Amino acid sequence: MEEIAAVRLSPLHAVVFACIFQDRKKAGPAMLEFLNAILVEVGEEPIAEIIDMKSEYSLLGESAGLKYGRLDVRVKGESGRLFNIEVQIDKDYMNERGSFYGYRMAAEEFEAGMTYNGIPPVRVITIDDFHVREGSERVVERVRLLYEDNPEEATPAFKMYHIQLPEFRKKYKSFESVKGEPFLTWLYLLDEAYKNEEEMKMLAQMSVGMKNFAEQYGIAINDPMLIRRYRMYQDSKRDEATRIAVAEQKAHLDDAKRMKAKKYPIADIAEITGLSVAEIDAL
């Protein structure tokens, strides 16, 4: 097996995840095993084979100006089922994004002359570094279309599954706590085992898929191009956070100026804007 490098990057960083699961030839066994562990966990039939898999897959618009998306990993099973596997750190519009991705995937497969009963089942699976619902204690939150006044399912064609990493981490803190449970073991491998070379090697001996994953992880984190992309991604996130912070600070200063002009008490201005008394006095 490829030696794991000393520099370790989380497999659940979007850039690393997409690099590991680049295509079927390189990481098909790992994705098939991981995906089937999820499907069995949520009560769906596993797939026998992956016939197509691509990372950073573009869902292109059909005309100029039309919204497009980029999927972390798109998988097509031999049964025709389509899967979008995403790693998410941003909670905003998570279900809207997932719906858009899923419907666009289905539309790409919907050929001329095909009837609606030929629409392939679509599953959007997101691995979320946050709770998708306040107070949710499930590791997996399921989203499906239901009739308003009846729990009857409107269509089985489209479903979303949110894997809540914070809940997983809270409940399963060691390899011993996930042994014997394929779904939980895969989450542990992705979220924790990369930090410990001995655990990674031990897990790589457990199955063909996990060995394949460990090999691709070792190749990925030794790839200079991945390191550059990772650093660029991190830099862009820091730049974005800085821009947001500067814009918010300016907005708070503008609000404070207006409140100060209207003779609001300084203590109230500080509480509302989050600015210090010294900052408000200096306006």
DSSP the chain: -PPPPSS---TTSHHHHHHHT-BHHHHHHHHHHHHHHHHHHTT-PPPS-EEEEEEEEEE--SSTT---EEEEEEEEETTS-EEEEEEE---TTHHHHHHHHHHHHHHHH--TT--GGGPPPEEEEEEESS-SSTT---SEEEEE-B-TTS-SBS-SSEEEEEEEHHHHHHH--SGGGTTT-HHHHHHHHHHTGGG-HHHHHHHHTT-HHHHHHHHHHHHHHT-HHHHHHHHHHHHHHHHHHHHHHHHHHHHHHHHHHHHHHTT--HHHHHHHH---HHHHHT-
Q: Which of 19-23, 62-66, 105-109, 141-145 has the lowest mean pLDDT?
A: 62-66
Our count of domains for the chain comes to 2
- Asked if residue 3 is part of any domain, the answer here is no
Q: Is there a domain that residue 228 lies in?
A: no
Which of 222, 248, 267 is the endpoint of a domain? 222
Q: How confident is the model at residue 63 (pLDDT cuts 50, 70, 90)?
A: very low
pLDDT, tens digit, for every residue of 102-127? 888 888 887 756 778 778 899 999 99
Work out the mean pLDDT of the chain and round it to a whole number. 86
pLDDT band at 2 (very low <50, low <70, confident <90, very high): very low
| Same structural domain, 122 and 24 | yes
User: Domain check: are 137 and 257 in the same one?
Assistant: no
| Residue 270 maps to a domain | yes
Check whether residue 29 and residue 83 sit in a common domain.
yes
123 shares a domain with 25? yes
What pLDDT was estimated at residue 148? 86
pLDDT greater than 80 at residue 3: no
Q: Are residues 162 and 252 in the same domain?
A: no
Domain's final residue, options 222, 252, 268:
222
Q: Kindly state whether residue 139 falls inside one of the protein's structural domains.
A: yes
Residue 5 lies in a domain: no
- Residue 148 resides in a domain: yes
The answer to whether residues 102 and 198 belong to one domain is yes
Question: What's the pTM value of the predicted model, to 2 decimals?
Answer: 0.79
Residue 44 domain-assigned (yes or no): yes
- For residue 203, give its domain range: 14-222
Shared domain for 81 and 209, answered yes or no, is yes
Confidence of residue 269 (pLDDT cuts 50, 70, 90): confident
